[in-house]
């Protein structure tokens, strides 16, 4: 079960040794540092809990994927059980105006994910991407981070708070704890995360 913002405030206060009734760290200060900690954790890697897939319809007139508002980076583009190749912009420009029954490559270009060659008809592709970190506002808001890794978020928030108010010893202590959590998270997600494999059954897109 994921930890909500109200619980995270209590955990961070406990780690830095400030009672809930103490106004030294008001909620809005804690919220800012908890959210910054979430963003820091997200920047440490491409975590599986931030991955999402969407079906996108492409045509010859509209051959590009328009990223969702929460898009951070693309992991893969799949068409007909086949993963399209990621190429450099210069390589994509060589086939930018070509039309084919099947697209073969993709590349981020400007505000879109360009897919080429342009499809001759209407096709559907699966766009796997990593989401941006969500900002926590309300007491019941929870980060996407699994509850088992809440300690990483608390340690990073405490480290950020310590750089604002405390001595270097507190900063180092929280930073060391956070580093241990990140190492654990990377080890465990590396064991469980595999490549993108799409199985298609008759009558279904996945």
Among residues 104, 131, 158, the one where a domain terminates is 131
- The pLDDT of residue 198 is 47
Residue 197 lies in a domain: no
Among residues 109, 131, 153, the one where a domain terminates is 131
**Per-residue DSSP letters for the chain?**
----HHHHHHHHHHHHT--TT-TTS-HHHHHHHHHHHHHHHHHT---GGGEEEEEEEE-SSS-EE---TTEEEEEEEEETTEEPEE--HHHHHTTTT-EESS--EEEEETTEEEEESEESS-EEEEEEEEEPPPPP-STT---SS-GGGHHHHHHHHHHHHHHHHS-HHHHHHHHHHHHHHHHHHHHHHHHH---------TT---
Among residues 101, 131, 161, the one where a domain terminates is 131
- The pLDDT of residue 11 is 96
Residue 163 lies in a domain: yes
- The pLDDT of residue 206 is 37
- The pLDDT of residue 21 is 76
Same-domain pairing of 60 and 87: yes
If one counts the domains in the chain, the total is 2
- The pLDDT of residue 168 is 65
Residue 184 lies in a domain: yes
- The pLDDT of residue 62 is 94
Residue 121 lies in a domain: yes
Full domain range(s) for residue 73: 48-131
- pLDDT mean for each 10 residues of the chain (206 residues): 92 89 85 96 93 95 94 94 94 91 92 94 96 94 95 96 76 94 93 53 43
Same-domain pairing of 63 and 53: yes
- The pLDDT of residue 148 is 94
- The pLDDT of residue 24 is 77
């Amino acid at each position: 079960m994921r930890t909500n913002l109200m619980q995270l405030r209590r955990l961070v206060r406990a780690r830095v040794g400030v009672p809930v009734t103490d106004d030294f760290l008001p909620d809005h200060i804690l919220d800012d540092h908890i959210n910054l900690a979430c963003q820091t954790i997200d920047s440490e890697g491409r975590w599986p809990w931030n991955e999402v897939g969407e079906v996108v319809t492409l045509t010859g007139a509209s051959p590009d994927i328009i990223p969702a508002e929460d898009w951070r980076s693309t992991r893969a583009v799949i068409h007909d059980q086949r993963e399209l190749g990621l190429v450099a912009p210069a390589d994509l420009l060589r086939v930018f105006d070509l039309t084919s029954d099947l697209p073969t490559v993709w590349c981020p270009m400007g505000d879109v994910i360009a897919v080429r060659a342009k499809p001759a008809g209407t096709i559907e592709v699966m766009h796997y991407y990593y989401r941006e970190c969500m900002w926590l506002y309300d007491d019941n808001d929870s980060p996407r981070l699994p509850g088992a890794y809440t300690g990483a978020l608390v340690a990073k928030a405490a480290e950020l708070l310590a750089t604002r108010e405390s001595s270097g010893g507190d900063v180092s202590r929280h930073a060391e704890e956070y580093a241990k959590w990140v190492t654990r998270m990377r080890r465990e997600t590396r064991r469980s995360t595999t490549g993108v494999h799409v199985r298609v059954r008759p009558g279904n897109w996945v």
